[in-house]
Structure 1
């Protein structure tokens, strides 16, 4: 009887073991099938996504060359422009266009009324938006040359726009608006502009370029932000170089403004920049006359010995290092010179009346050239 029970128990256990093995095989098959389905799904999604993006990058309709009016408002970002283009049927997908622009590091889009067609490629659309090829004339245009100071730029805006110079200057000093700009441009406009030693918070932040406006009376803020936005876009291209130099945007704009104000058409900005770097390295004051004139709030061809005595943090004859902030706006050539100076042993330079700049390694050599080219005016 006991033997029979043991035999039955053994058969029962064996039966259960076989059932479990069969169940395990079934589970493995199901899991394998599920995994296969997931792989196929992921692969199919990836392949489908690839062909979708590839299709979205192509013109909406290669045969449709009929212009569509696309209005790009002042201050529009890439996302806004992408949505506009998609809504007007100029691009197939707004998101694809936005990431295409970012991937290719494109910038400098201008506001305006554009005649774009569904047959245009992505690159043609981008080029058109950057060059400002519009289908109607601008209401007014403001050209800001390199090397201008805020009061001069305010005067230009006052001449060309519906706003007076006084209104422009008041807005440029508006602390509440400047705080708003800090939030909108956190990488560009920082606490540096609020330094108590700063004479004008936004000095140097209005980029020299030509700006076209397509409304009869755009807001004053939008006019100024066009110029600030351009500075932001230009400096974004030099972020790696700034990190390497350990320079903040404010320091770069300040340094570049000195180069801009000292340079003439015949000047090599790289050499002028090297003089400033060499003097800073030797703990010498920069002694650049434009900072003195900025301290005085004057526009003069020459500084006097009396001018050099002005008590101001901007006076680089009395204070070592860079002044508290920019003394003018600066163009790309001066920005690049500030980041990549030439390697020289010069510590002095002077410009003759015909614009030629002479460089010297020693003070004696500098004084000799000053006597020859400036005092005696033998150009």
Structure 2
């Protein structure tokens, strides 16, 4: 805090008073005075030091602490005090001087998993111990863009959910589902670029097969399902859902949806490029998410009654 020097001065003044009292009490024995006074001085000086070296109660554990490039040591110290990283800017500066790094504090993003005292914070900034460790984030097959936005926003502090949605919607279906590792300071644009690059780096393996199939990559990615048009992931469909005017409602609109949806896995893409030949024309998923296929509409209706009660 800014009043740290004043508090320390008052502590030293009180020390002086205590010393005077002990001096008058033990004036006859110099050795006795020394043995008593020195510990008292040390204790009185250490008390405010120990109080102010402790991390603040509002320490931003689990959050990014940004140290902009170009700031002086004093400006960095004031920033850390303001952000509740340290209790005293003065004490922080003193700790940096102890490390002899007052002219070489490292700028950038710092991440503390738990509250740290001023001495440890000073050491981290003195030597560039950023504390950034990759976060494991799993994007499952079939995940839609809006679900991705919510997922990444939970883990990444600089992830702009609205901007991601705006920029990623045209790429629906072209963001590859996989396990990703991002640093805590990754933003939405880095995430989008990574998912996009991952998709094309994987589908390049299918180029020859796609070319031989006579279809485009977009044709392969497009998948006709209701859930996208409804804006939810429930499997409960109503009569109103089936009557929807959405261009993705393949009960009313012939052919495939106008754009790709969801996030198909590599195996799904490969299966779409080289589908297994069969006589099946209909399929449905039961309440346990098991898919049942039928060759005729009559069999399909029977399975619908059997597995869905409809």
Category of TM-score, reference length = shorter chain: 0.5 to 0.7
What RMSD, in angstroms, separates the aligned Cα atoms of the two structures?
A: 2.1
Give distance in 1, aligned partners of 2:245 and 2:143.
23
Of 181, 186, 198, the residue aligned with 1:212 is 181
Q: Which residue of 2 aligns with 1:305?
A: 239
Q: Is residue 2:282 matched to residue 1:348?
A: yes
Q: Is residue 2:265 matched to residue 1:364?
A: no
For residues 97-152 of structure 1, the C-alpha deviation after alignment (integer angstroms, 9 at most, x for no partner) is xxxxxxxxxxxxxxxxxxxxxxxxxxxxxxxxxxxxxxx97332221111110010
Q: Is residue 2:205 matched to residue 1:237?
A: yes
For residues 47-75 of structure 1, the C-alpha deviation after alignment (integer angstroms, 9 at most, x for no partner) is xxxxxxxxxxxxxxxxxxxxxxxxxxxxx
Q: Which residue of 2 aligns with 1:145?
A: 140
Q: Is residue 2:190 matched to residue 1:222?
A: yes
Q: Which residue of 1 aligns with 2:170?
A: 201
User: What secondary structure, in the 3-state scheme, does the structure 1 residue paired with 2:151 have?
Assistant: helix
Cα deviation for residue 219 of structure 1 reads: 3.7
Q: Is residue 2:269 matched to residue 1:335?
A: yes
- Does structure 1 retain, via aligned residues, the 8 Å contact 2:229–2:246? yes
Q: Which residue of 2 aligns with 1:155?
A: 150
Q: Which residue of 1 aligns with 2:216?
A: 248
Give distance in 2, aligned partners of 1:202 and 1:251.
14
Cα deviation for residue 343 of structure 1 reads: 0.9
- Does structure 2 retain, via aligned residues, the 8 Å contact 1:141–1:160? no
- Does structure 2 retain, via aligned residues, the 8 Å contact 1:208–1:329? yes
Give distance in 1, aligned partners of 2:303 and 2:165.
42
- Does structure 1 retain, via aligned residues, the 8 Å contact 2:286–2:308? yes
Give distance in 1, aligned partners of 2:179 and 2:171.
19
- Does structure 1 retain, via aligned residues, the 8 Å contact 2:283–2:300? yes
Give distance in 2, aligned partners of 1:231 and 1:333.
13
- Does structure 2 retain, via aligned residues, the 8 Å contact 1:138–1:212? no
Q: Which residue of 2 aligns with 1:170?
A: 163
User: What secondary structure, in the 3-state scheme, does the structure 2 residue paired with 1:141 have?
Assistant: strand
Cα deviation for residue 155 of structure 1 reads: 0.5
Give distance in 2, aligned partners of 1:372 and 1:172.
40
For structure 2, list consecutive stretches of 5 or more residues without a partner in the other structure: 1-130
Give distance in 2, aligned partners of 1:334 and 1:202.
18
User: What secondary structure, in the 3-state scheme, does the structure 2 residue paired with 1:159 have?
Assistant: helix
Q: Which residue of 1 aligns with 2:115?
A: none
Give distance in 2, aligned partners of 1:312 and 1:352.
24
User: What secondary structure, in the 3-state scheme, does the structure 2 residue paired with 1:349 have?
Assistant: strand
Q: Which runs of at least 4 in structure 1 moved beyond 6 Å after TM superposition?
A: none
Q: How does 1:1-379 map to 2 (within 5 A)?
A: 138-164=133-159, 167-174=160-167, 200-214=169-183, 216-255=184-223, 258=224, 290-291=225-226, 293-375=227-309
For structure 1, list consecutive stretches of 5 or more residues without a partner in the other structure: 1-135, 179-199, 259-289
- Does structure 2 retain, via aligned residues, the 8 Å contact 1:348–1:363? yes
Give distance in 2, aligned partners of 1:363 and 1:230.
39
- For these two proteins, the number of residue pairs brought into alignment is 180
